[in-house]
Amino acid sequence: MRKMSLIGLLLLLVGRSAMAQHVALDISTPMSPPTWALLERELLRANTAACEEFFAKYFDERGFLLCVERWGGDDGPDDAIENCNDWPLLHALGAPDVVLQMYKKAWEGHLRQFTLAKTTEVSFAKDGMYYKEFPVMFDWLHNGEGLTVFNLQGLSDPHDLAFQQRVRRFAGFYMNEDPGAPNYDPEHKIIRSMFNGSRGPLLRKATALDWAGDPIEIKNRFRLGHGEESYEQMLAHFKDYNDIIGDLPQNLLTTSLALNGYMMSGEEKYKAWLLEYVDAWVERMKQNGYIIPSNIGLDGKIGGATDGKWYGGCYGWAFTVVVPQDGSLAHRNTHNKGFTGFMNAYLLTGDDRYLDPWRRQIDTINAQAKVIDGRTMYPAMFGDDGWYDYSPEKYNYAALELYYLSMRADDLEEVLPQEVGGASKAGYRNNEQFSRDQRWLRYLLGQDASYPEQALRADLTRVRQRVAEMRTEDTTPDTRLADDPMHLNPASVASLIQLMLGGLHPGHQGNVLQARLRYFDPIARRAGIPEDIAALVDRLTADEVAVTLVNTNQLASREIVIQAGGYAEHQFSSVSQDSGQSQAVNSNQLAVKLAPGAGGRFVVKMKRYANQPTMTFPWDR
């Protein structure tokens, strides 16, 4: 493999903290396209074609979703735009501009559609389910889901004027910049209710009607996601969802709005508010023995709105409810959503004090293990009688994210425990995606070389299967609820985020992207890997990333800009090829020109979280 050569200095970068040089690399070593590279390019192509077919079937020319519009926790405005989940990521990875155009049309369409849609009995949505282009007032399990697409638009389209205006307006709802939306109490540093939004907080107990929405015909017409067979069962589902007054961890999802405001504008007020709010939650965890409380009263006290019980409140540590269809019990503790706020604070600061409380929470809960019928069991819930909901799986919420952010060996142990006798020493409360993430980490550690091709093929299979099901499903617009097509959304990008970016899938609750690398096309002047190029990250450490780039086009050269981090929050210090001499970089971007059919593996030294994150594209910095 030939040594890379420096072909000169590009533009001088006036950084936010220091002057740095742009380094460009000229790569001409031939590399026959590896299988993973061809699979990446095919997956981008297949995703795009599948999303076009999906959009044509389920959206009209205005961007309206062809469905029955409803308010509520079963089915509501958030579900409409969730049908385009992962489309912003798909475009930011390098899919054609048609993907950006489609999800922007769907976003604009759903804003208009659910501003026009009104309730008849739910009091706060009678004048429109959206007000000022935002939910009037609802919980952040749903608000966050509905903002998943919007919060990632800045990856590809940060200069869109409407996007910039909305970023400011939405963040302003939680910074008391809108007198009609006094959601935040700066004295006690709380968001005042679980139900909050563009019309402010709901400061009374919620009713089943508030959650379920207006009466609706169910039997022989709709299939509800929670399995209810009648409107009466819908009300029964939500009958105990009452204690919403005061703050709760799920409200930390609001910090993504402020983070986007900061990354879009650079204005310190957004960063200051975000850190103030998260710092308040850090202190609450410390005061509560490093367990995040699930209710903060209007007086700012832990459990202040739930008779002093730190574990009280809707979706809290003790939130176990009856399933109306069969009388079984369901444990619906969603405190873990709050980790988003701590991740956002870490992206801004790189300060471990935003991670350590969650490590301690994991240790504290798993320390409550006990032996039941000869098996070690771990709890996940806490009520008046103490810990309950024991299972063989350890509590491990945020374990993967903790390791990804810190890159500490002890955090890795929580995700990939040492094996004894060929079996893991502990189980984990996980799902298929978590198991896939474990395989990815083993691949990065050099223990699972087959993972890239298998993961890419699995996503290709997922695209095919979803399109096949979409072509045979027979709902009509008047028998279709907003969430019905969601399970058919073909966008499949999990493997591409891991393998191309060395990143975490942000999920579907309004998170921003956490990635070690991103790519830009300096010729087309857009985000995403340029046409014909493929990238494979095969190692991540605290101060290093190894990536292979290949130009699959055998006739034309290609140019690419590599960015350090999803939002330029990292800093490259040097770069070398496997057999080449190390070369200083000292920038958050690196330009590479690949000759026809050329490629190479690079080892890039870097300092993580050295810069403040920004949406600004490399050539505009």
Asked if residue 421 has pLDDT above 80, the reply is no
Q: What would the mean pLDDT of 287-304 be, rounded to a whole number?
A: 98
Instruction: Quote the CA–CA distance of 358 and 399 in Å, as a whole number.
Output: 9
SS3 state of residue 377: strand
Taken in order 441, 444, 449, 453, is the CA torsion positive or negative? positive
Question: What pLDDT score was predicted for residue 431?
Answer: 58
**Degrees (nearest 5) of the Cα angle 37, 40, 44?**
145
Lowest mean pLDDT among 253-267, 464-478, 576-590: 576-590
Query: Does the structure show a pLDDT above 50 at 606?
Result: yes
Question: pLDDT value at position 216?
Answer: 94
- Per-residue confidence at 89, pLDDT binned at 50, 70, 90? very high
Confidence at residue 579, expressed as pLDDT on a 0 to 100 scale: 66
Of 310 and 581, the one with more pLDDT: 310
CA angle, corner 292, sides to 289 and 296, nearest 5? 110
**Is the pLDDT at 530 greater than 50, yes or no?**
yes
- Please state which of the ranges 12-21, 130-139, 426-435 shows the lowest mean pLDDT: 12-21
Share of the chain above pLDDT 70, in %: 94
pLDDT (mean) for 117-123: 98
Q: What is the pLDDT of residue 464?
A: 98
Average pLDDT over residues 497-513: 97
pTM, to two decimals:
0.94
Contact call for residues 359 and 402 (beta carbons, < 8 A): yes
Average pLDDT, the chain: 93
Tens-digit pLDDT profile for residues 11-60? 333 333 333 456 789 999 999 999 999 999 999 999 999 999 999 999 99
463-470: which pairs have CB atoms within 8 A and are 24 or more residues apart?
Answer: 463/43, 463/46, 463/47, 463/50, 463/490, 463/492, 464/46, 466/50, 466/490, 466/492, 467/50, 467/53, 467/54, 470/53, 470/54, 470/57
What is each CA distance from 355 to 25, 263, 349, 361, 448, in whole angstroms? 37, 21, 11, 10, 28
Asked whether residue 441 carries a pLDDT value surpassing 90, the answer given is yes
Ordered domains of the chain (ranges, CATH): 5-30+516-620 (2.60.40.1180), 35-214+224-384+394-514 (1.50.10)
Which of 30-44, 237-251, 304-318, 423-437 bottoms out in mean pLDDT, i.e. has the lowest?
423-437
In angstroms, the first-to-last Cα distance of the chain is 33
Q: Is the pLDDT of residue 242 over 60?
A: yes
Per-residue pLDDT at 581: 84
Q: What pLDDT score does 158 carry?
A: 98
What pLDDT, in 10s, does the model give residues 366-400?
A: 999 999 999 999 999 999 999 999 999 999 999 99
**Confidence tier at 601 by pLDDT (50, 70, 90):** very high
What pLDDT shows up at residue 577?
87
- pLDDT grade for 196, boundaries at 50, 70 and 90: very high
Structure tokens at 599: 């490629």
Q: What is the pLDDT of residue 423?
A: 34
